[in-house]
Amino acid sequence: MNIVVLTGAGVSAESGIPTFRGPDGVWENHRIEDVASPEAFLRDPDFVHGFYNARRAALHGVAPNAAHFALAALERAWEGRGDFLLVTQNVDDLHERAGSRRLLHMHGELRQMLCAACGARHPWLTEADTATSCPACGETGLRPDVVWFGEIPYHMEPILAALDRADVFCAIGTSGVVYPAAGFAAQARRNGRGCILYEINPAPTGERYFDHVIAAPAGEGVPEFLRRLGV
């Protein structure tokens, strides 16, 4: 039995990382067009770097919560029982820090920098600005390795292949309003395998695709999901 799990900002909410669209969400305090688009970076790269520098610095003060640890435990428990893939829309590193390995960041990672000049990617734990040079080619022009609105998410080929083979799909802590992630549930539903769909969200989206809705915070809902899988 193959499992695909999709997480959104809600899985990190109990760790203290704000969601995007909830009360006091990230997009309540910043305009997407000012900080999360290629045009924004072209217009004012240091302002955009400042937005991501602050979110990267905040990672030092947060830790994985029970949901992150439960997903890492599910991955280990599923060894030999079928495929397991965790797809996250999040750019934080809490899934890795909780022990997840079969993990794809479809929107990139805060703790990585991408060189627009040579294409090199570098682990990055500190700040960056337009004067910061690429450790590989020495050019300036580094950008956060985060997928902005209007850009193509990463790892779509393996994600779509996993959805086509999924027998269980679980969406955790996502409002389901940003594509292509918002279309993953429908894709799993029609993959011809009778895929069973779960949603874990204290404010369920009401999407009709979900067979089971666990209307709880991820810290409670994910352990309940594991119990229902018999893990």
Q: What does the alpha-carbon distance between residue 170 and residue 221 come to, in Å, rounded to a whole number? A: 11
**Binder of ligand APR out of 45, 64, 153, 217 (CB under 6 A):** 217
* Minimum gap (Å) between residue 180 Cβ and ligand APR: 11
Q: Return d(Cα 142, Cα 120) in angstroms, integer.
A: 9
| Burial readout 90-119 (b: 16 or more C-beta within 10 A, e: otherwise) | bbbbbbbbbebebbebbbbbbbbbbbeeee
Contact 224, 214 (CB under 8 A): yes
Residue 107 makes contact with ligand APR by CB under 6 A: yes
Interface with ligand APR (CB under 6 A), residue from 85, 159, 168, 218: 218
Report the SS3 class of residue 85. strand
CB 11 within 8 A of CB 17: no
- 122: β partners: 113
Q: Which is nearer to ligand APR, 3 or 181 (CB)?
A: 181
Q: If you write DSSP's letter for every residue of 9-38 in order, what string do you get?
A: THHHHTTT---SSSTT-HHHHS-HHHHSSH
Nearest to 82 by CA among 4, 195, 159: 4
- When binding is defined by CB under 6 A, the residue of 2, 3, 6, 14 that contacts ligand APR is 14
Rounded Cα gap, residues 95 and 97, in angstroms:
5
* 21 or 212: CB nearest ligand APR: 21
Q: Which residue lies nearest ligand APR, judged by its C-beta?
A: 10
The nearest distance, CB 125 to ligand APR, in angstroms, is 21
- Span from 42-50, 68-76, 161-169, 195-203 in contact with ligand APR (CB under 6 A): 195-203
Q: What does the per-residue mask of binding to ligand APR show for 148-177, with x meaning CB under 6 A?
A: -------------------------xxx-x
Q: Is 10 in the site for ligand APR (CB under 6 A)?
A: yes
Length of the chain: 231
Query: Which positions are catalytic?
Result: 107
Contact letters for ligand APR, residues 15-34 (x by CB under 6 A): ----xxxx--x---------
Candidate residues 201, 209, 210, 214; the one interacting with ligand APR per rule CB under 6 A: 201
Q: Please tell me the distance from the alpha carbon of residue 33 to that of residue 190, in angstroms, as a whole number.
A: 34
Site for ligand APR in 66-105 (CB under 6 A): 89
130 membership: H or E segment, kind and range: none
Residues that bind ligand APR (CB under 6 A): 8-10, 13-14, 19-22, 25, 89, 107, 173-175, 177-178, 201-203, 217-218
